[in-house]
Structure 1
Amino acid sequence: MNETKKPVLHVSCVPRKDTTLLKISLSQDDLGILFRVTSVLYIHGWDILEAVAETSHEGHVQDLFVIRSWNGGEMTESLLSQIRKDLYSLFYEEKSVEEYLRDHGKGEVLVRKVGDPEASLKLYNPISSDFTVMDLRMKDNTGILFQITEALFHLGIDIISFTANSSDGKIRDSFLLRTSLTGEKLDEKTMFPLLRSRLENFL
């Protein structure tokens, strides 16, 4: 009799001077990893400053996140355990991010409009790269990364890497993107207008 293997989710962290390196390993790749992780860290009061996806020789996916607490708090063992539990529920127990946020009284972030008239969004396909680059400059706003990753998730767009820089109340977020269906760059004639329209709805 064959037993169904339980999906693997491994979560660990390495404290740094002002940030924490969060490592999340999954037994299989999945669209919307950053979307789910962003929602969990948002609930627990942590910002994602950088994110990089890696695939091991065994086919496991490991995502690395540089995170920082909103209030200068530390990543304790109990908090890390709760984050692991929440992520497992989102990845393997069919709980939607929308349900998860509403369960924690944060459903308003799903429809919140930032309203930054000076927001700047650039999309382009470098000749020398296999990915689409998306640069976003706007005023800093709690939960904005979640809204961006939600839009990308629903459009079937994978985030390969992400970095955030902030100064004087402004942020510059840079993403490397590709379509989840083909693994190619985003089509400039079809996907660019769709993505731009979706993001401009809440910027």
Structure 2
Amino acid sequence: MASTFPTDDHQKLLDAGEEFVHIDGHELTVVTEDRPGVFSRVAGTLALHGVDILEAQLRTEGGLALEVMRVGGGIGLEERPAQVEDDIRLALAGRLAVRARLLERARTYRFQRITTARPSTPQVIIDNELSSSSTVLEVRGPDSIGLLYRITRAMADLDLDIVSAKIQTLGDDVVDSFYVRDAAGEKVTDGDYLREIEMAVLSAVARDA
């Protein structure tokens, strides 16, 4: 992904003020109306196609959200990118039952999967020292279908703005890092609010959908 964000091309998309969804190789670019849950809808749709988000950068400006993601895996990414793009548009418009579809996919996968490894214990580590402008959430736990969708939806429910994310899969586990801000664009410093965030994200990791 580009070291400078947003790039001039990204800024032109924001200035155009129109919805934009495009996959170019292993990079997905989305411009859409800024509202809670945009990231989770995109993440959930990609999960339905078996596509992984490896890294994401986000920006909001003038009522629009820009999301640029480095993605990998999934047959749809190479064979039918237009279908993936169309489904993302449907999800953003509220016309794709992302949660219900992920539930069904998870049920099917559960019966097919055979593993002898003991699931890791979910953890949420909150760091307010690493970044001068954002609260960093490190989420560890067993990987599962739709996990990123559940985590980011839990954050959206608590009005958290995700600035950037880095997603790692280590065997059967994930180690995801999110740079987040509150609804006012500030670090999260209130202790009660931080505890609610931790509880919500832990719950998201522990359940199937």
TM-score (norm. length: structure 2): 0.72
2:56 is equivalent to residue 66 of structure 1: no
- Contact map agreement 1:25 1:62 (CA 8 A) in 2: yes
Q: The residue matched to 1:106 in structure 2 has which SS? A: helix
After superposition, what is the alpha-carbon deviation per residue over 1:108-151, rounded to whole angstroms, capped at 9, x for unaligned? 86xxxxx9453221012127511110011223322211110111
**For residues 21-73 of structure 1, what are the alpha-carbon distances to aligned partners after superposition, in whole Å with 9 as ceiling and x for unaligned?**
111122x42222211101111112211111111357x7753211111124x56
2:76–2:84 Cα contact (<8 Å) kept: no
User: Which stretches in structure 1 are left out of the alignment for 5+ residues?
Assistant: 1-6, 110-114
1:101 equivalent in structure 2: 99
* Displacement after TM superposition at 1:184 (Å): 1.1
Kept in 2: contact 1:23–1:63 (CA 8 A): yes
One-letter code of the match for 2:72? Answer: R
Partner of residue 85, structure 1: 86
The code of the aligned residue for 1:86 comes to D
CA distance in 2, matches of 1:167, 1:127: 23
SS of the residue aligned with 1:75?
A: helix
- Does structure 1 residue 11 correspond to structure 2 residue 21? yes
Q: 2:39 aligns with which of 14, 22, 34?
A: 34
- Seq. identity, %: 24
In structure 2, stretches of 5+ residues that fail to align are: 1-16, 107-117
Residue 112 of structure 1 corresponds to which residue in structure 2? Answer: none
The answer to whether structure 1 residue 164 and structure 2 residue 162 are counterparts is no
For 2:104 and 2:192, locate their aligned partners in 1 and report how far apart those are by CA, in whole Å. 30
TM-score by length of 1: 0.74
Superimposed CA distance per residue, residues 67-119 of structure 1 (whole angstroms, 9 cap, x where no aligned partner):
1124x56434xx33333333333333x44x6x3432x473586xxxxx94532
CA RMSD of aligned residues (A): 2.8
